[in-house]
């Protein structure tokens, strides 16, 4: 399982545009880590979701537009000293091809953003490199960084790997210095996660993954549980409540409560003040009692029959959404499109999302776009990255693929807040905006966090699902973590 991106090719093919028009305007017009239970959620300022006018929304959009003007034409001084010596500044910009490397689903192609950018900038041709799954993509990224060549002009990197990318920040353009003004554009924690201690910003934020709980209404009804989102939210105030409801569900139906122990474990760990790594990049898996507490909660649920023991993104996992294989799912915003694609049209209205995540807020996923210094078209690449991550484009990507915006003005926009999902039959923009507001300070991600999740915790949990004792699985987790960081 990736840190927060739809990475399975089969699953990607099934994802369909998810957010539909709510009221007066057409669908086309509408667009364009979390605290511990005891910690008070951080207010958004830059982070507070309010209904603001489109004027503010357009202001930040104009910043990205300014980048395009500067990139395409240059200022008067640049034009007067151009290679052809034309003092009028009317020279056509040179044609340029920009390669873009992403993983999973970012929504750019689904929303037609590459084509739109080429129409706005006829001298630019965008070469979208076919996306890999998240794991292989990042292996390729780090191999090319080590080799010193072969990277695209614009590259993406995910939250689980941001710590490792930051260790090589000197190989990326400082977007805070060389791009348009970034002050206040993103949620504070989103920008800080891609900023080095000396202040270099190496990535423009794309999306975030505020967490809620999705559930199958028909399965809930069959078990005698409430089915309306407001009532369901009351079942999931804490993780103790969530697993208690799971015990009741299993007792009533004999069926699994959630899809995968790895999915649940990762979501719960991402919610902690500290995860696998502390601020000094020291691995603290064996010394962080909160990690062991989460392990014990999840493995106890496995023993109680609450886990469907499915590998995320597998055909069986996809089928579970359609055939009642499990009743609940940790649900970042982008998961709605996954569920719709996997469950299929016959199950429209069967799944719902509750505006709650146990013990506070949570975030699963999100990425950044960076520009390697090796790019021969750095100025144009920075302009493209700025445009793709501007508020209008973030909302278009959300409407097409469910990638939830990280730009403040996008979060404040009625275009987002009034968005509904016909498949779920609910308002989803305001729901996930509230889930984003429930997040506090972002959990620090070290250079090994992604590898620990993919190659240590997940295999160990799968071993427990296969019959290994929880204690032996824990030791496997520790042993594999030690091997990763040797």
Give me the number of domains the chain comprises. 2
275 and 318, same domain (yes or no): yes
Strands 204-216 and 404-405: antiparallel
In-domain check, residue 72? yes
Residue 424: inside a domain: no
Please check whether residue 37 is in contact with residue 364, taking contact to mean a CB–CB distance below 8 angstroms. no
Q: CA Rg, the chain, in Å?
A: 22
Going 436 to 270 to 164 to 444, the CA torsion angle's sign is positive
What are the distances in angstroms from CA 472 to CA 466, 477, 486?
Answer: 12, 9, 21
Exposed/middle/buried for residue 461 (C-beta within 10 Å: 0-12, 13-18, 19+): buried
Cβ pair 97, 381 in contact under 8 A: no
Question: Has residue 433 been placed in a domain?
Answer: no
Kindly state whether residues 135 and 17 are assigned to the same domain.
yes
- Work out whether the CA dihedral 136, 302, 466, 258 comes out positive or negative: negative
- Statement to judge: residues 173 and 245 lie in one domain: no
**Does 374 share its domain with 314?**
no
User: Do residues 105 and 221 share a domain?
Assistant: no
Distance CA 356, CA 358 (A): 6
CA gap 68, 93 in Å, rounded? 12
Distance separating alpha carbons of residues 153 and 164, to the nearest angstrom: 19
Residues 267 and 340 in one domain: yes
Q: What is the domain range of residue 157?
A: 9-208+365-419
In a domain, 39, yes or no: yes
Which CATH number fits the domain that encloses residue 293?
3.40.190.10
Claim to verify: residue 133 and residue 273 sit in the same structural domain: no
Residues 70 and 134 in one domain: yes
Tell me the backbone φ, ψ of residue 368, rounded to 5 degrees: -140, 160
Same domain flag for 105 and 229: no
Identify which of 334, 331, 324, 321 has the alpha carbon closest to the alpha carbon of residue 355. 331
Specify the 3-state DSSP secondary structure of 211: strand
Q: What are 66's two structure tokens?
A: 């300014």
State the pLDDT at residue 184.
86
Does residue 4 sit within a domain?
no
Give the pair of three-digit tokens for residue 457.
Answer: 């915790």
Q: Is 241 exposed, middle or buried (0-12, 13-18, 19+ CB in 10 A)?
A: middle
User: Based on the domain organization, do 81 and 149 belong to the same domain?
Assistant: yes
Give Cα separations from 431 to 26, 353, 413 (angstroms).
21, 9, 14
Per-residue pLDDT of the chain (486 residues; tens, 9 = 90+): 344 454 443 433 433 333 333 322 222 222 333 333 332 222 222 222 233 233 333 333 343 443 443 343 334 333 333 333 333 445 788 999 999 999 988 999 999 999 999 999 999 999 999 999 888 999 999 999 999 999 999 999 999 899 999 999 999 999 999 888 888 899 888 999 999 999 999 999 999 999 999 999 999 999 999 999 999 999 999 999 999 999 999 999 999 999 999 999 999 999 999 999 998 999 999 999 999 999 999 999 999 999 999 999 899 999 999 999 999 999 999 899 899 999 999 999 999 999 999 999 988 889 999 999 999 999 999 999 999 999 999 999 988 888 999 999 999 999 999 999 999 999 999 999 999 988 877 788 899 998 999 999 999 999 999 999 999 999 999 999 999 998
Q: Is residue 454 one of the residues assigned to a domain?
A: yes
- 234 domain residue, yes or no: yes
Together in a domain, 400 and 448: no
Residue 100: per-residue pLDDT: 99
DSSP alpha helices (H): ranges in 223-364? Answer: 229-233, 239-253, 261-270, 289-303, 315-323, 335-343
Short-list 316, 297, 325, 335, CA closest to 461: 297
Residue 168 located in a structural domain: yes
pTM of the shown model: 0.76
Return d(Cα 75, Cα 290) in angstroms, integer.
54
Q: Which neighbouring-strand residues pair with 172?
A: 372
Q: Which residue reads 């069986």 in tokens?
A: 316
Q: How many CB atoms lie within 10 A of CB 85?
A: 8
Q: Which two tokens stand for residue 308?
A: 């469907």
Question: Which H/E stretch holds residue 41?
Answer: none
Domain shared by 259 and 349, yes or no: yes
């Amino acid at each position: 399982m990736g840190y927060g991106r739809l990475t399975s090719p089969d699953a990607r093919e099934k994802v369909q545009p998810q957010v539909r028009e709510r009221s007066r305007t057409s669908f086309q017009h509408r667009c364009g880590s979390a605290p511990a239970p005891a910690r008070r959620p951080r207010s958004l300022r830059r982070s507070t979701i309010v209904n603001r006018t489109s004027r503010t929304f357009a202001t930040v959009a104009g910043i990205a537009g300014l980048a395009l003007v500067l990139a395409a034409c240059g200022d008067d001084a640049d034009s007067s000293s151009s290679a052809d010596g034309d003092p009028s500044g009317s020279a056509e910009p040179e044609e340029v091809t920009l390669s873009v490397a992403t993983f999973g689903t970012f929504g750019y192609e689904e929303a037609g953003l590459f084509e739109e950018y080429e129409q706005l900038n006829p001298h630019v041709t965008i070469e979208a490199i076919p996306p890999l799954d998240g794991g292989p993509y990042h292996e390729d990224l780090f191999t090319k960084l080590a080799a010193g060549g072969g990277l695209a002009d614009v590259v993406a990197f995910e939250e689980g790997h941001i710590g490792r990318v930051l260790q090589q920040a000197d190989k990326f353009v400082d977007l805070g210095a060389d791009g348009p003004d970034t002050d206040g554009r993103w949620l504070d924690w989103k920008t800080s996660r891609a900023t080095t201690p000396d202040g270099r910003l190496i990535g423009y934020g794309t999306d975030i993954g505020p967490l809620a709980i999705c559930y199958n209404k028909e399965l809930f009804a069959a078990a005698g549980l409430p089915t309306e989102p407001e009532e369901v939210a009351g079942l999931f105030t804490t993780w103790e409540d969530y697993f208690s409801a799971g015990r009741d569900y299993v007792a009533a139906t004999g069926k699994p409560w959630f899809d995968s122990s790895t999915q649940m474990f990762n979501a719960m760990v991402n919610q902690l003040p500290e995860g696998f790594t502390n601020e000094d990049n020291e691995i603290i898996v064996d010394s962080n009692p909160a990690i062991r507490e989460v392990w014990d909660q999840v493995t106890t649920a496995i023993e109680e029959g609450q886990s469907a023991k499915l590998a995320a993104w597998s055909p069986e996992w996809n089928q579970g959404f359609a055939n009642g294989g499990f009743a609940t799912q940790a649900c970042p915003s982008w998961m709605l499109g996954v569920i719709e694609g996997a469950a299929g049209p016959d199950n429209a209205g069967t799944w719902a999302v509750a505006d709650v995540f146990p013990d506070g807020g949570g975030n699963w996923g999100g990425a950044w776009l960076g520009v390697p210094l090796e790019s021969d078209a750095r100025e144009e690449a920075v302009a493209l990255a700025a445009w793709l991550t501007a508020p209008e484009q973030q909302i278009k990507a959300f409407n097409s693929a469910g990638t939830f915006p990280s730009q403040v003005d996008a979060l404040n926009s009625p275009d987002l807040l009034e968005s509904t999902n016909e498949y779920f039959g609910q308002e989803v923009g305001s729901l996930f905006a509230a889930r984003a507001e429930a997040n506090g300070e972002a959990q620090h991600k070290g250079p090994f966090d992604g590898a620990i999740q993919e190659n240590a915790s997940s295999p160990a949990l799968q071993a427990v699902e296969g019959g290994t004792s929880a204690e032996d699985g824990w030791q496997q987790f520790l042993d594999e973590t030690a091997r990763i960081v040797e």
